[in-house]
Amino acid sequence: MTDDFAKIFAAMMEQGQKMAKAFAPAMENADVKGWEKMFPAMPKEILEMWFGKTFNPEGLDARTRFLVTIAAQTVLGPIGEPQLRMTIKNGLAAGATKREVAEVIWQMSMFGGVPAMQKALEIAQQVFAETADDTGEKDA
C-alpha cells in the first residue's frame, strides 16, 4: 500500500466512523421508514463532495460510485433492501438515469441470480415511482 493510498484510506475510515457515531441514535429502534425519512436524496453537490472525488480527485464520480454500489447491493439480495432503496435514490440524485440503474441491476442477474435481480428491480420501480416528480425523468 502506498503512502498516498494509506492516507486516503485512513481519511475515508475516519469519515465513516464519524458518520456512524452521528447516526447511532437514529439506529436504536432500527425503523426502516424512519431511516429513509432521515436520509432523503442528498443534493448532487453534497453527494459529489462526500461520495465522489473528495478523497480521490482523479477517481470515480459519485454517479459511478452509486451505480457500483447498486450492483453490489443487488447481488446481496433482499437482505439489503433499505440500503438499496437509499442508494437508488441517491444515485438518481447524483445523475444516474433510471435506465442506467435498471441496466446495472439486470446485469447482476448472472452474479446474484434472477430472484435477487427481480427483487432489486421491484425496489427500483418503487423508488422510480416515488421520485418521478423529483427527477422529471420518464420511466425506464
Q: Which helix (H) or strand (E) holds 139?
A: none
| 47 and 6 co-located in one domain | no
The pair phi, psi for residue 53, each rounded to 5°, is -105, 20
Instruction: Give the total number of structural domains in the chain.
Output: 2
pLDDT at 57 over 60: yes
pLDDT in tens, 85-130: 999 999 999 899 999 999 999 999 999 999 999 999 999 999 999 9
Nearest to 98 by CA among 26, 79, 76, 106: 106
- Taking the C-alpha atoms of residue 99 and residue 101, their distance in angstroms, rounded to an integer, is 5
- Taking the C-alpha atoms of residue 17 and residue 126, their distance in angstroms, rounded to an integer, is 31
| 5 and 53 co-located in one domain | no
pLDDT at 16 over 80: no
Q: Please identify which residue in the block is written with the cell numbers 485512513.
A: 10
Range of the domain at 8: 1-28
pLDDT at 67 over 50: yes
